[in-house]
Amino acid sequence: MDSSNLERKNSFSTFPIFGMEKILKENFDIQSKNPSQEALRKWRSAVSVVKNRRRRFRHTADLEKRDEAEKKKLGIQEKIRVVLYVQKAALQFINAGKRVEYPLSDETSKAGYGIEPNELASIVRSHDYNRLKLHGGVDSIARKIRVFLDSGVNSSDIPLRQKIYGFNRYTEKPPRSFWMFLWDALQDLTLIILMVCAVVSVGVGIATEGWPNGMYDGLGIILSIFLVVMVTAISDYKQSLQFRDLDKEKKKIFVQVTRDGFRQKVSIYDLVVGDIVHLSIGDQVPADGIFISGYSVEIDESSLSGESETVHTNPDQPFLLSGTKVQDGSGKMLVTSVGMRTEWGKLMESLSEGGEDETPLQVKLHGVATIIGKIGLGFAILTFLVLTIRFIVEKALNNELTKWSSSDALELMDFFAIAVTIIVVAVPEGLPLAVTLSLAFAMKKLMNDRALVRHLSACETMGSASCICTDKTGTLTTNHMVVSKISICEETKEIRGNDSVEPTKSAISQGVMELLLQAIFLNTGSEVVKGKDGKNNILGSPTESALLEFGLLMGGDFDAQRREYKIVKVEPFNSIRKKMSVLVSVSTGGFRVFCKGASEIILSMCDKIVDNNGVPIRLSEERIKNVMDIINGFACEALRTLCLAFKDMDENLNGDSLPSNGYTLIAVVGIKDPVRPGVRKAVQTCLASGITVRMVTGDNINTAKAIARECGILTDDGLAIEGPDFHSKSAEEMKKLIPRIQVMARSLPLDKHTLVTKLRNTFGEIVAVTGDGTNDAPALHESDIGLAMGIAGTEVAKENADVIIMDDNFATIVNVARWGRSVYINIQKFVQFQLTVNVVALMLNFVSACISGSAPLTAVQLLWVNMIMDTLGALALATEPPNDGLMKRPPVGRGANFITRTMWKNIIGQSIYQLAVLAILKFDGKKLLRLKGSDATAVLDTFIFNTFVFCQVFNEINSRDMEKINVFRGMFNSWVFLAVMVVTVAFQIIIVEFLGTFASTVPLSWQLWLLSILIGFLSMIVAVIIKCVPVELGKPKSHDGYEALPSEP
């Protein structure tokens, strides 16, 4: 069924009362990611009837502050751009004449340092190469800040360094205290009006009825307001603590440094001036610093300068700025300034203003609150007018129109208080805040389950995901790689730990083994370092670590190889080249290039292969076919295949690229990376819930197909395609192919980006994409939900992602989808519950006012009802954990109606039942209940109030499931829901039995208590009947499982 038909089927044309969806889609519809400024301003201007602007818009981006921050950011960027790109030699010469001097302070001198913090910061910030040379270069700077470039900072010096040179932190706004939340809760206009009414009521009451009887009504309202404000403030404050914890988790970035002579990981916030930081592709430069050594380091400075062109960093251009990204290469830097002494620190201070974009659900519920609020305001005004007119007419009929007393003023004040309280109940201010509460709860739970949600909207959008484009390595597999097979000298050997060492060595000549170990140890971005325990530790990517482990197993010595050969040039691996090359100078003279990478690519660069004696022989067509058979054989066993090759050269290339042909093939390596336990089950869960899983990998197509079949991704009718084939297709051919594509192998980042764009724009899919590399950033940014890997992912990928999968596990991604669906349906439950209370409270008070001239629910009682349906209702329904049934229904489509027909059916059905019961009680209750005596009216009003509350309590239980009859499933696992139920009932008993003086209630007999509970419970029977009524005529309804309604999750 196409989306237009779905939309038509779920339209609200059958409910003319609420053309709500049309208004929501016109004014309250924004993109989940990167919404336009126009859309953000449009919905803000459409919001009206706001009781408490400060609280309601607390989690809404401040566009004015954001504009100011953007201007500030542009100013800083322009300043940096001038320094980096405009400042020519003439300007340097002019500045040299008026160079600022930085005399060494006593504090710095006594600490043993030879350069001032501001001077050190100035050298890097202004790229002052002349001043750097004046100080003697990076080696002399290192001596002046008391650090050895090979061993790094001593841990014992860190406190002193932080005292002199500062901490690597930028200025942040202090967190809001509980009292600020309490103050926000008091800003509610209706509560302020009620407080004024209460004070007036106390004054008039004492004047007419004396002390203390005259103060009870007003004091009751004040106490109720105090309770509402306290509960609201506590709820908001606890929510803010959850967000604070999430923010702390988001800022946990670790970098590799050399300290105390050892390589180790430290938080960027613990970096100090003098630290030796190791940088590689995708890292964010964590502080300002000076380049020490490295290869092919390309830095993206666009985050600071706005310039998109990368900067090549080398000893002649040694300056590295905090906040920039390593686009290519690897190297070491000396930290020279941290925190607010860097331009990045100043930039981050300005970027903390403005807040995060609101989510689509928050905006929709602002719209629902606005629409219901307008209706409520209208009813409140009508109720006040009806009560006032009736009162005046009655006085006129009794010829008392000219006689006014303070009791008359008090009665009019009560009418006004009731009208204002109706607005309190009718304007569902808590709806947008319930989304934030639900998201905060889900994000906290997901953080415990190893998924860090960086953007609020991602958690919400993930519940609607219809397609996941996932990487293979580390996500579907364990990322714990070992060399399993090797083909060398036209022989294939299986590697099984130490038992394989002697058989492998005996089958290979000494010359070939030396060549193999050179190819492994010299052509790598990883390192073998000694840990504090004296053992060898391998630092680097899992693939390279597997090769180094194999080299060490074969008796190789990493340090000896590195000492013997001098590395001249390195071309690091990236996802576009799919290979890594290194040029080394040979001690006997000349140069040698080693190359490794994707098997087909390296093989195509070779024209020779080493024989058993290490002698290169011609790579004939037959030998190429044999090698390809070996590669495909390894791949069909789900092994990742790499080829290692070399080429001898007589002279250096003098800056040119390393050669791309004429190589000699050394070996084909098969690396085993087992499928993660539980992945197949997670994939099956996705497929059962209407989420298509596509594998997008850079690996060999046979390896990809083998893993995809093992995971349950590739089916008999599915298509596996290679990236080059895919991007060579026309737009029309892509349109036919994409629905069948389940595996894309040998893909480039551009292929992933194209696939995501087509899925979103052509097929209307809501796409989640995983990524770990720098080049994955465009696809992560383009997707609806970008999922970066927490272990294998680079900082660039994480920065462009919406969710970080901390354990790199596909099952965790499915858990994010489950919680996303839970957020959506929990908010639907809460909206259904709250709108039912709205409708009943409004109609009951209005109809009663019109007919009898009095409202059955007093201001205090309505405030209590408001708290049940707002703060307590949100806590109970918006924080329910997900159940397995959520993953047995299709995802929510783009443009689907939020308030579905099923919800309207439940709202209208429950409202009719409650109104009918309460109306009968109001107008014929004394007779039916056989109430007599002077307190009959008070008993009846208390009974109506009690019954109304218990109807809401049982309806809250009904709302736990909008379609299924068994609403108790999982209820006893949700301690928050149970706690809210217990608190609600306990407070109701206290209000009725003990606070009658303030709440205008009287104690009830046990029979009336039982009858109240029974009438409330009957709403559950009514709910069962309503659920049996199909939402569409002729459509069968099943209650054995969730029905696949397209407009619901």
Q: What is the pLDDT of residues 409-454, one digit of tens each?
A: 777 877 877 777 777 777 777 778 788 888 888 888 888 888 988 8
What digits encode the pLDDT tens for the residues 833-854? 988 888 888 888 778 777 776 6
> How far, in Å, CA of 599 to CA of 474, rounded?
20
What digits encode the pLDDT tens for the residues 221-253? 788 778 878 888 888 888 788 778 877 887 788
> How far, in Å, CA of 140 to CA of 138, rounded?
6
What is the model's pLDDT at position 159?
92
Given a cut of 90, is residue 721 above it in pLDDT? yes
Q: What backbone torsions phi and psi does residue 1000 show, to the nearest 5 degrees?
A: 60, 45
Given a cut of 80, is residue 212 above it in pLDDT? no
What is the model's pLDDT at position 383?
82
Residue owning tokens 């005046």: 392
Q: What is the 8-class DSSP label of residue 972?
A: G
**Exposure letters 181-207 (e unless 16+ CB within 10 A, then b):** bbebbbebebbebbbebbebbbebbee
- 221, amino acid identity: I
Tokens of 810: 């596909």
What is the model's pLDDT at position 15?
40
CA atoms within 13 A on the CB side of 586: 15
**More confident position, 311 or 309:** 311
> How many DSSP H helices and E strands does the chain contain?
41, 26
Q: How far is CA 191 from CA 380, 384, 415, in A?
A: 15, 17, 15
**More confident position, 535 or 604:** 604
Contact 683, 713 (CB under 8 A): yes
Looking at the chain, how many residues does it have?
1049
> How far, in Å, CA of 849 to CA of 856, rounded?
8
Contact 741, 721 (CB under 8 A): yes
First to last CA, the chain: 17
> How far, in Å, CA of 997 to CA of 649, rounded?
100
For the entire predicted model, the pTM comes to: 0.83
What digits encode the pLDDT tens for the residues 26-43? 888 888 887 888 888 888
> How far, in Å, CA of 1039 to CA of 964, rounded?
6
- The mean-pLDDT minimum among 193-202, 485-494, 516-525, 773-782 falls in 193-202
Given a cut of 60, is residue 612 above it in pLDDT? yes
Average pLDDT over residues 490-512: 84
Average pLDDT over residues 481-493: 90
What is the model's pLDDT at position 433?
77
Average pLDDT over residues 560-575: 86
Contact 367, 24 (CB under 8 A): yes
Coil vs helix vs strand at 482: strand
Contact 803, 454 (CB under 8 A): yes
Given a cut of 70, is residue 23 above it in pLDDT? yes
- 977, amino acid identity: F
Q: Report whether the peptide linkage leading into residue 882 is cis, meaning its omega lies within 30 degrees of zero.
A: no
Q: What backbone torsions phi and psi does residue 407 show, to the nearest 5 degrees?
A: -65, -35
Helices (H), 790-899: 795-800, 810-852, 859-867, 873-877
Tokens of 24: 């929501």
- The mean-pLDDT minimum among 212-221, 335-344, 974-983, 1012-1021 falls in 212-221
Contact 347, 324 (CB under 8 A): no
Split at pLDDT 50, 70, 90, the class of 1039 is very low
Which listed residue (188, 471, 751, 802) is catalytic? 471
Split at pLDDT 50, 70, 90, the class of 754 is very high
Strand partners, 579: 597
- The mean-pLDDT minimum among 346-350, 608-612, 831-835 falls in 346-350
Within 8 A by CB and 6+ apart from 892, the residues are: 463, 464, 824, 1047, 1048, 1049
- The mean-pLDDT minimum among 302-306, 971-975, 989-993 falls in 302-306
The DSSP bridge pattern shows strands 467-470 and 536-539 to be unpaired
Split at pLDDT 50, 70, 90, the class of 84 is low
- The mean-pLDDT minimum among 167-176, 277-286, 582-591, 832-841 falls in 167-176
Average pLDDT over residues 50-58: 75
Tell which residue, 235, 233, 348, 236, has the closest CA to residue 287: 348
Given a cut of 50, is residue 89 above it in pLDDT? no
Average pLDDT over residues 572-581: 84
Cα angle 854-856-857, degrees, rounded to a multiple of 5? 120
* 471 annotated active-site: yes
**More confident position, 161 or 870:** 161
What digits encode the pLDDT tens for the residues 629-661? 999 999 999 999 999 999 998 876 666 678 889
> How far, in Å, CA of 742 to CA of 166, rounded?
52
What is the model's pLDDT at position 14?
39
- The mean-pLDDT minimum among 1-10, 571-580, 837-846, 905-914 falls in 1-10
Q: What is the 8-class DSSP label of residue 296?
A: E
**More confident position, 723 or 430:** 723
What is the model's pLDDT at position 22?
80
**More confident position, 62 or 757:** 757
The DSSP bridge pattern shows strands 536-539 and 566-571 to be unpaired
Work out the number of other CB atoms within 10 angstroms of the CB of residue 265. Answer: 9
What is the model's pLDDT at position 519?
94
> How far, in Å, CA of 223 to CA of 867, rounded?
13
% of the chain exceeding 90 in pLDDT:
31
Given a cut of 80, is residue 548 above it in pLDDT? yes
Tokens of 202: 């106390």
Given a cut of 90, is residue 61 above it in pLDDT? no
What is the model's pLDDT at position 9?
40
Q: What backbone torsions phi and psi does residue 300 show, to the nearest 5 degrees?
A: -95, 110
Given a cut of 60, is residue 128 above it in pLDDT? yes
Ramachandran sector of residue 1034 (left: φ over 0; alpha: ψ -120 to 50; beta: rest) = left
- 682, amino acid identity: A
> How far, in Å, CA of 833 to CA of 954, rounded?
10
What is the model's pLDDT at position 90?
42
> How far, in Å, CA of 446 to CA of 448, rounded?
5
% of the chain exceeding 70 in pLDDT:
92
Given a cut of 80, is residue 928 above it in pLDDT? yes
What is the model's pLDDT at position 1042?
40
Average pLDDT of the residues of the chain: 84
Tell which residue, 34, 169, 791, 882, has the closest CA to residue 452: 791
Tokens of 726: 């895919």
Ramachandran sector of residue 137 (left: φ over 0; alpha: ψ -120 to 50; beta: rest) = left
